[in-house]
Amino acid sequence: MNRLHSKIAVLALCVASFFSFSCATKAPIDISKEFPMAIVSVSSNTTIPWFEADKNVDEDEKINEDGLINSMLNKSINAKNPEINTNKERIEMAEDKLTTMLINKGNFKLIDKETVLNNSTYKSVPGGLLDFMSASCIPEGYKKLSPDSRKMARMIMDSLKAKSLMYITFQFEKEKSHSKVYARTTMSVRVLNNKGKMVVRKDFIALSANAVQMYGNSYDKDSLVALFPESIEAAVNKFIYSVSLGDMTALDAIEIEEATPIKINRPKTTESVEENSESENTEATTTEVTETTAEKNISDEKINMAKKMLARGMSAEEVSEITELPLEEVKALQDSAE
CA 202 to chain centre: 3
Q: For residue 330, which amino acid is it?
A: V
Looking at the predicted structure, is the pLDDT value of residue 211 above 90? yes
pLDDT in tens, 81-100: 999 999 999 999 999 999 99
Average pLDDT over residues 285-312: 63
Looking at the predicted structure, is the pLDDT value of residue 293 above 80? no
Q: What is the DSSP letter of 46?
A: S
Looking at the predicted structure, is the pLDDT value of residue 232 above 60? yes
| Residue 95 neighbours by CB under 8 Å, 6+ apart | 42, 139, 142, 168
Q: How far apart are CA 233 and CA 100, in angstroms?
A: 10
Its pTM stands at 0.66
Confidence (pLDDT) at 67 = 45
Does residue 206 or residue 63 have the better pLDDT?
206
Cβ atoms of 111 and 162 closer than 8 Å: yes
Q: How many C-alpha atoms does 265 have within 13 Å on its Cβ side?
A: 11
**Over pLDDT 70: what percentage of the chain?**
65
| CA-based torsion, 147, 150, 154, 155: positive or negative | negative
- CA proximity to 13, closest of 335, 227, 272, 286: 286
pLDDT in tens, 244-261: 876 665 543 332 222 233
pLDDT in tens, 89-137: 999 999 999 999 999 999 999 999 999 999 999 999 876 444 444 578 9
| Residue 195 neighbours by CB under 8 Å, 6+ apart | none
Q: Phi then psi for 64, rounded to 5 degrees?
A: 60, 55
Q: What is the mean pLDDT of the chain?
A: 77
Q: Where along the chain do its domains lie?
A: 31-252, 279-338
- 320 to 32, 241, 302, 307, 327: CA distances (angstroms): 27, 13, 10, 11, 5
Task: Name the strand (E) or helix (H) holding 123.
Answer: helix 120-124
Confidence (pLDDT) at 316 = 83
Looking at the predicted structure, is the pLDDT value of residue 274 above 60? no
Looking at the predicted structure, is the pLDDT value of residue 219 above 90? yes
Q: Please tell me whether the peptide bond between 49 and the residue prior to it is cis, using omega within 30 degrees of 0.
A: no
Confidence (pLDDT) at 163 = 97
- 75 to 68, 86, 197: CA distances (angstroms): 11, 11, 38
